[in-house]
A = this chain, B = another copy of it.
Amino acid sequence: MPYKSLTYDKVTILGGLWGSKENLLRKTTVWAVYDRFKETGRFDAFKCDKNAKIKPHVYWDSDVAKWIEGVAYLTKQKRDPKLEKIVDEIVDEIEKNQLPCGYFNSYFIPMEPENIFANRDCHELYCAGHLLEASIAYFEATGKEKFLELMLKYIDYIEKRFKIDCDAGFTTPGHEEIELALVRLYNLTGEKKHLELAKFFVSERGKHADEDIYIDWAESKYSQSHKEPKSQRTAEGHSVRAVYLYSAMADLALKENDEELKLACECIFDDIINRKMYITGGIGSTHLGEAFTTPFDLPSEGAYAESCAAIGLIFFAQRMLNLTCEKKYADVIERVLYNGFLSSFSLDGKAFFYVNPLEIVPQNHTRHASVKHSDPLPPMTRKEVFECSCCPPNIVRFLGSLGSYIYTYDDKNIYLQQYISSKSTFNIGGEEITLTQKTSYPENGKITLKASGDVTVFVRVPEYLGDVKIGKNGYLPVNLVKNKEKTIEFEIPTILIEAHSKVKDCVGKVALMRGPVVYCLEGCDNEYDIFNIRIDRNTDFTHGFNEELGVPTITLDAFIKQSSNSLYAPISQNRKRVKAKFIPYYAFANRGESPMQVWTLAE
């Protein structure tokens, strides 16, 4: 029988790295996003005033919905009347402006009512999915039913138009999201029609001619419409759309015990982690379509690696973990958490990355077609607002629900997936058990556990410790006796990593990791041109701390090539020993524009 994830509402995060991030979320980030959304008219758009000074955009509902979902998670932990009031006002506007049929979209109602459900690329079902998720989370957090009821009416209308009358302008949405939202709704309502509608949208994909004429250069792969999902074996197209679909597929595989969908999900996941994932857990190698490309094509400077895609990969991995009980899925979640996810917002919690490059060369930033033609331009520093602002509220909602990723459990046992200080309540075979986890991870690998009853906790052995043959499939069994603390300790090794030889951009290069954290070289820490540093493969590691950033540092032995003044000259071995100072990747770009690289040549 599969695991279940212990949901965030049963978990309280207690200090440490993630406790501080949760505080930052509540105090700063949720309001930073609020302010920008307010300023850009995203909240006012819900008034559906066609004469409003600021014109809405087709995807704005989803931005606000993700923010509301984040607010709901914060509210569930601790109510905040100011935040709740904002949400209630938005819900009132939805109630006021929802069409009698149930349809709601703050762009189409005032701006293009004649084009409702006419265009597959207009994000209506994507917005509906996010609004639905927000309404469920808000209901679960506050017990207030109105938002959920409005959305249930909308979902009935969607079912009618797409599945019963089949008279919408398209069959499957260009951007997935509604699918997984409907499974979540089914989990709440238990109504078969909600699950059936989710299945409908997943199973109809790849069967319709209109899915083929999407964007010329991307073709139907862009929206994963090149094949029926159950027949797909590789990760393709727009990476956020992709992982949202794969998450829904995994949900359905679990609900329906669907071996075909499960196999598809397993193959796709392996394709990602073995061929298409940056060392940071970022996915989507090209700006062109924000998409997956070919196997092993993982350029550092041109990396897209959108923050939303990193979060979506966690969604997918979490569902695969519940489906298969295999630890590799939790390993990937850890990789994303400490790197591609943590990098997506600034240390002060106010600014965000949409794109998370693995290399920044400031002087060439706007000079090459690869970056110049993308919109938005990949910034060299995190920005407080984006034209397309999907990532900041996604960060809010993900961080608000982080507790859900710490444990899975079954009838008998608890599985500790992430090392995060927390207090959690389980129902194990009918018995309520409270489990406390104390740790300073990833600073060190010491984990102290205490439970309110006798229980075995299987602790995931981190991926970076290699193929460990301990316990059950890489989980270390820790038998807890009621109310007695037990401490285990993993080594946190500092390791030079190399990529598969087919990753052209990384040939001859190494990356530095300490435990789960990928490090990077930033220009402002090094007096030499960082692109000319070559790591000494036999280096020692000197650990330190950067007070300004509040992050650990590692210093390595390296060489600097000293060249003649000629642009081209016969090879020489003229080099100088230097120190290369690394900081965690997640902390880069917090001190203004600076050159940065994750992969460094080694000798």
Contact = CB atoms under 8 A, between A and B. Distances in A.
A374 B369 contact: yes
Contact of A567 (B274, B371, B560, B569): B274
B567 A275 contact: yes
Contact of A372 (B288, B294, B508, B571): B288
B568 A497 contact: yes
Contact of A508 (B495, B504, B508): B508
B500 A273 contact: no
A532 interface: yes
Contacts of A184: none
Given A369-B371, A369-B373, A497-B570, 19 more contacts: A217-B366, A274-B565, A277-B567, A279-B568, A288-B368, A293-B367, A293-B368, A368-B370, A496-B571, A497-B571, A498-B569, A499-B567, A500-B563, A500-B567, A500-B568, A500-B569, A501-B563, A507-B532, A537-B571
Nearest to A570: B495
A102 interface: no
Interface in A248-264: none
Interface string A551-564: 00000000011111
B567 A288 contact: no
Interface residues of A, number: 64
Contacts of A568: 279, 497-500, 511
A602 interface: yes
Contact of A571 (B277, B510, B564): B510
Interface of A: 217, 273-275, 277, 279, 285-288, 293-294, 296-297, 299, 302, 361, 363-364, 366-374, 466, 495-504, 507-508, 510-511, 529, 531-532, 534, 537, 560-572, 601-603
Contacts of A293: 364, 367-368
A360 to B, nearest CB: 12
Contacts of A366: 217
Most buried by B among A217, A294, A501, A561: A501
B504 A531 contact: yes
Copy number in the complex reads 2
Nearest to A505: B531
A369 B370 contact: yes
Most buried by B among A286, A503, A570: A570
Most buried by B among A296, A367, A499, A566: A367
A367 B364 CA distance: 20
A572 B498 contact: yes
Given A501-B562, A502-B529, A286 B369 contact: yes
Question: Which 7 residue pairs spanning A and B have beta carbons closest together?
Answer: A370-B370, A501-B563, A373-B373, A508-B601, A501-B561, A293-B367, A504-B531
A296 B570 CA distance: 18
A294 B500 contact: no
A571 B512 CA distance: 10
Contacts of A374: 369
Contacts of A561: 498, 501, 507
